[in-house]
Amino acid sequence: MSEWRFWLKEQRGTLAAVGIFLLMFTIYVSNHPAGLTANVVQTASNKGVLLAFVAMAQTLVVITAGIDLSVGMIFILTNALASWLVIGSPLETSFGVVAVLAAGLACGALNGLIVIYGRLQPIVATIATGAVFFGIALLLRPFPGGSVNEDLADMMTGKIFGVVPSSLVALVAIILVVWVPFSRSVIGRAAYATGSSEIAAYMSSLPIRRAKFTAYLLSGLLAATGGLFLTFFTYTGEAALASGNAYTLFSIASVVLGGVSLFGGRGTAIGAVFGALAFRTIGDLLFVFDFDPLWQPLFQGVVLLVAVSLGAFGLFRVRNRLEWFG
Amino acid sequence: MITSAIPAAAPLFQMDGVSKRFGGVRALENAALAVEPGRIHAILGENGAGKSTLIKIMAGVVAPDEGRMLMDGREVTFRSPAEASAAGVTCVFQELSLIPDLSVADNICIVHPPRRFGLIDRQAQRVIAEEALVRAGAEDIHPRMLVKDLPLSRRQLVEIAKALAWKPRILILDEATSALTAADVAKVFSVLMRLRSEGLALLYISHRMHEIAELSDECTVFRNGHNVMSFAAGTHSNGEIVEMMIGREYSNAFPPKPERATDTATPALECRKLGWTDRLRDISFTLGKGEVLGLGGLDGQGQRELLLALFGVLRGTTGSVLVDGKSITLASPAEASSEQIGIALIPEDRKTEGLMLPMTVRENLSFSVLDQVSRGGVINREDEEQLIDEMIKLLTIKTAGLDLPVAALSGGNQQKVVIAKWLMRKPKIILLNDPTRGIDVGTKHEIYLLLRRLADRGTAILFYSTDYDELIGCCDRVLVFYDGSVARELKGSGMTERALIASALNVEDGHVGTAA
């Protein structure tokens, strides 16, 4: 096999997600009453980026063969926190941003510690911590409200040179600063190895615990980035339970669409980002076709079901039936 | 790092008085070993002789209870495989340490990847991987291939390449050739000989006597956790080596075996040229009604796969299987255990494959007969109770109550529950996968009696055991497996420990009467 075919094989999941997104977005734009304008792209980007951040957060944990059901709640908690802190003079605002991101890191660290040292299954541990995070969010914002530094918010949700949505630029920047170094670091490789086969990773004397902890930590950070952007878009904070749960579930959907294996060890955050953008576009397709919005959850559910089923095809190749359960 | 190959000096590595127990079982007792640079040292021993515990201790996977290890005359302790490797002791495990979803290059460089600006340098990694693959004689493997896409024999070469990337001083190869094709074996041998000439010490664990004869400079034989003897290769014959490996303590009384007339009736089970991937090759045998047929040989020669295949767990088997003279398809465990076919499998790992540990004794027992004790989907407690009582009495299961979780029973009683669960279906053919491993002598004895009693009633029994003593004591005949096929069939007075070991190693042994 020549080099580019190896590359193609390695990137298959990610490329499929890019393909799905491009297809869906083309259908979306060509049926949109306004067509392909900077404003349409900006709106789509602002909606998509939120889920993209949360999906990236989910990806890091899923790569280690875990799952983080608290990402949506970290997203909500940091939104509530940002509506208190990201305000005032430039100095105060920057302090607020740092504090919000630090809160995300703290949430991720807590998840990591419980999963690694408490030896709880990630699914149980993160349901519990998610409830805790939501509880704190509710105490911070019993009622929707608060405010945000509007100059910063407008800058982050506007357009650069009147064309490029700045939220998209921010997403690319975060990918370059967080994902790319992670995926190429020793810790990142250990995370993949742990997800692929924890026993083999142990026998290869890889830093399994540090890899998992880093994954949860960065997951918290990325979810907090999402929470920050939510505040920029809405100008307020709100402890919305339904929204938190929806983001958690959609993040898993995006991860699957993005070609990340829920069994761990395979997939990229870039794939998940495109999975998120595609998922959002699919949801919005109904609007441009003038369907009743009531159909949206059902439609998204069907799309997700199809995507998940495609991922299960590998089971047909199994020669030892016991491997179905491994 | 080339050290001189003079053996007379202090050994590179030495262990002294090393002991290790697992629960009540002593795996290694006061073992000693000396390893010298520039030599290939073969370790021999039958199942459970302590070989694998020995190398796990050397490789830092398990810690010894007693004893000490010296490297270059200085005492060392390894708390993890990483520490052992850092000290220069690296083990090539059997397909255990490769990450399936990563590429060959990623795997080879997994421990110390080359870095630039803190991130992994993929170009440099590629170069290192290519060099290591050449050193391991596997230059035809592309470094970008995913490990899971490689066949087993190629993976083994990647394992060796990976171990070499540690730049070890002692390289341990645990059955490193068992998955290899003949062409690959020849390659690995030339690689090992070159490494020896470079001054590496190689510890070679294998059951293939001809490989050991061809390759090794010295041999150490283990038996019952002791090192029995060390000698220079070529100074003892295969027969003498087999003799050294014999000598397990006999402690079990076995029920008498009835005389069996020559079978003319239709056999309960017949296999014709059964095959599955490269793990089972052309397995043909018959199992008569009321017969106990043993499966012997070293661990991992295809015995488990045969049982799984017969129970419908494996997909893509070739050849045919006949039950009561009628050809059957091996589609699923549910089908294999149906009333028409009537096969039961007592699995090897009762904790994961045989029992639902947190559920009660009653529930576990009635799983397999729910259809018999229920009507319209509702379980009839009285019928259930009656069936269960019969079984508990038959097997003398000691439990304080049927509603206790199975996890609360002793290992021996748990195993009896597994057996009882399947007996409740009144199977015609019972497959046993090493059923007495890790249980007490008393229960073992009861299981032997039970098997013979079932056989006397006409049940056909296929019995895989890693305990030779047990095979000799319990079985009417034994099929000895080697490398996925039946190497020899032993019966009557031909079933001796000597014959079992010799045929498990696939060497000739002139002293025993054998039937092919």
Identify the helix (H) or strand (E) that includes residue A256: helix A241-257
Classify B11-88+171-245 by CATH class. alpha beta
> Is A187 an 8 Å CB contact of chain B?
no
Q: Which residues of A touch B96 (CB under 8 A)?
A: 199-200, 203
**Between chains, do B81 and A196 touch, taking CB under 8 Å as contact?**
no
Shortest alpha-carbon distance between residue A15 and chain B (Å): 18
The pLDDT of residue B94: 66
Q: Which residues of A touch B56 (CB under 8 A)?
A: none
B278: closest chain A residue by CA: A319
Q: Measure Cα distances from A245 to A108, A250, A273, B345 in Å.
A: 17, 9, 19, 45
**Between chains, do A196 and B120 touch, taking CB under 8 Å as contact?**
no
Neighbours of A110 (CB within 10 A): 20
- The pair of structure tokens assigned to A29 is 């734009």
Q: Which B residues, 83 through 102, put their C-beta within 8 Å of a C-beta on chain A? A: 85, 93, 96-102
Shortest alpha-carbon distance between residue B508 and chain A (Å): 34
**Between chains, do B144 and A318 touch, taking CB under 8 Å as contact?**
no
The pLDDT of residue A312: 67
**Between chains, do B120 and A189 touch, taking CB under 8 Å as contact?**
yes
Q: How far apart are CA B27 and CA A168, in angstroms?
A: 61
- The pair of structure tokens assigned to A84 is 């208190």
Closest CA to B296 of B427, B491, B440, B152: B491
pLDDT per residue as tens digits for the range A209-262: 999 999 999 999 999 999 999 999 999 999 999 999 999 999 999 998 898 988
- Longest Cα pair distance anywhere in chain B, in angstroms? 80
CB of A272 closer than 8 Å to CB of A258: yes
Across A162-189, average pLDDT:
93
The pLDDT of residue B330: 83
> Is B81 an 8 Å CB contact of chain A?
yes
Show Cβ contacts of residue A82 under 8 Å, excluding neighbours closer than 6 positions.
Answer: A96, A97, A100, A148, A227, A228, A231, A237
CB of B344 closer than 8 Å to CB of B451: no
Q: Backbone dihedral region of B192: left (phi > 0), alpha (psi from -120 to 50 degrees) or beta?
A: alpha
CB of B487 closer than 8 Å to CB of B302: no
CB of B71 closer than 8 Å to CB of B248: no
Q: Which residues of A touch B166 (CB under 8 A)?
A: none
Q: Which of A9, A209, A316, A320 to mutate to test the interface with B (most CBs of B within 10 A)?
A: A320
**Between chains, do B313 and A318 touch, taking CB under 8 Å as contact?**
no
pLDDT per residue as tens digits for the range A306-315: 877 776 666 6
- The pair of structure tokens assigned to A220 is 């918290």
CATH number 3.40.50.300 given to B252-257+266-342+427-516: yes
Q: How far apart are CA B448 and CA B465, in angstroms?
A: 12
> Is B140 an 8 Å CB contact of chain A?
no
Show Cβ contacts of residue A282 under 8 Å, excluding neighbours closer than 6 positions.
Answer: A24, A299, A300, A303
Q: Backbone dihedral region of B344: left (phi > 0), alpha (psi from -120 to 50 degrees) or beta?
A: beta
Look up residue A285 and give its amino acid.
Answer: L
The three-state secondary structure class of B74 is: strand
**Between chains, do B315 and A321 touch, taking CB under 8 Å as contact?**
yes
Q: Which residues of B touch A193 (CB under 8 A)?
A: 99, 102, 110
Look up residue B145 and give its amino acid.
Answer: M
**Between chains, do A196 and B110 touch, taking CB under 8 Å as contact?**
no
- Closest CB to A1 among B142, B313, B332: B142
Q: How far apart are CA A230 and CA B374, in angstroms?
A: 57
One digit per residue, pLDDT tens: chain B, 516 residues? Answer: 444 444 455 788 999 899 988 766 678 889 999 999 999 999 988 767 788 889 889 988 889 999 999 999 889 999 888 888 889 998 887 656 889 899 999 999 887 888 888 889 989 999 999 988 988 888 889 999 999 888 777 888 888 888 888 888 999 998 777 767 777 788 888 888 998 998 999 999 887 777 888 889 999 998 888 888 899 988 888 878 888 887 655 555 788 888 776 666 889 999 999 999 888 999 999 999 999 999 998 877 889 999 999 998 888 899 999 999 899 988 888 888 888 889 998 887 666 677 887 888 888 888 877 777 777 778 888 888 888 888 888 787 777 778 888 887 777 788 888 888 888 888 999 999 888 876 776 778 888 888 898 899 899 999 998 888 888 888 999 999 988 899 999 988 888 888 888 888 887 764 443 333
CB of A140 closer than 8 Å to CB of A239: yes
Look up residue B308 and give its amino acid.
Answer: L
Closest CA to B213 of B187, B181, B189, B183: B189
- The pair of structure tokens assigned to A113 is 């510690």
* B352-383 burial code (b ≥16 CB/10 A, e <16): eebbeeeebbbbbbbebbeeebeeeeeeeeee
**Between chains, do A181 and B118 touch, taking CB under 8 Å as contact?**
yes
Q: Which residues of A touch B315 (CB under 8 A)?
A: 318-321
More confident residue, A279 or B400: A279
Q: Which of A197, A209, A268 to mutate to test the interface with B (most CBs of B within 10 A)?
A: A197
- Closest CB to B120 among A6, A185, A204: A185
Give the sheet arrangement for strand B326-328, strand by strand.
Answer: B280-287, B269-276, B318-323, B326-328
Give CATH 3.40.50.300 domain extents, chain B: 11-88+171-245, 252-257+266-342+427-516
Show Cβ contacts of residue B315 under 8 Å, excluding neighbours closer than 6 positions.
Answer: A318, A319, A320, A321
> Is A2 an 8 Å CB contact of chain B?
no
> Is A117 an 8 Å CB contact of chain B?
no
> Is A80 an 8 Å CB contact of chain B?
no
Q: What is the CA radius of gyration of chain A?
A: 20
Q: How far apart are CA A144 and CA A184, in angstroms?
A: 41
CA-based end-to-end distance of chain B: 51
Q: Which residues of A touch B82 (CB under 8 A)?
A: 205
The pLDDT of residue B179: 66
- The pair of structure tokens assigned to B418 is 């597994």
Give me the residue label for tokens 């019969």.
Answer: B390
> Is B115 an 8 Å CB contact of chain A?
yes
* B268-304 burial code (b ≥16 CB/10 A, e <16): bbbbeebbbbebbbebebbbbbbbbbbbbbbbbbbbb
**Between chains, do B101 and A192 touch, taking CB under 8 Å as contact?**
yes
Q: Which of B56, B92, B99, B277 to mutate to test the interface with A (most CBs of A within 10 A)?
A: B99
**Between chains, do A196 and B102 touch, taking CB under 8 Å as contact?**
yes
**Between chains, do B313 and A321 touch, taking CB under 8 Å as contact?**
yes
- Closest CB to B98 among A195, A200, A320: A200
In this prediction the pTM is 0.74
The three-state secondary structure class of B151 is: coil
> Is A185 an 8 Å CB contact of chain B?
yes
- The pair of structure tokens assigned to A306 is 């199809």
Q: How far apart are CA B129 and CA A206, in angstroms?
A: 18
> Is A322 an 8 Å CB contact of chain B?
yes
Q: Backbone dihedral region of B208: left (phi > 0), alpha (psi from -120 to 50 degrees) or beta?
A: beta
- Closest CB to B97 among A9, A189, A200: A200
Domains, chain A, with CATH or none: 11-307 (1.10.3470)
ipTM of the complex: 0.82
DSSP string, A148-193: --HHHHHHHHSEETTTEEHHHHHHHHHIIIIIHHHHHSHHHHHHHH
The answer, yes or no, to whether residue A322 has pLDDT greater than 80, is: no
> Is B316 an 8 Å CB contact of chain A?
yes
Q: Which of B91, B101, B144 to mutate to test the interface with A (most CBs of A within 10 A)?
A: B101
**Between chains, do B332 and A321 touch, taking CB under 8 Å as contact?**
yes
The pLDDT of residue B5: 44
- In this prediction, residue A277 has a pLDDT band, given cuts at 50, 70 and 90, of very high
pLDDT per residue as tens digits for the range A86-134: 988 999 999 999 999 999 999 999 999 999 998 889 999 999 999 999 9
CB of B238 closer than 8 Å to CB of B259: no
Q: Measure Cα distances from B162 to A283, B85, B112, B116, B157 in Å.
A: 47, 12, 11, 21, 9
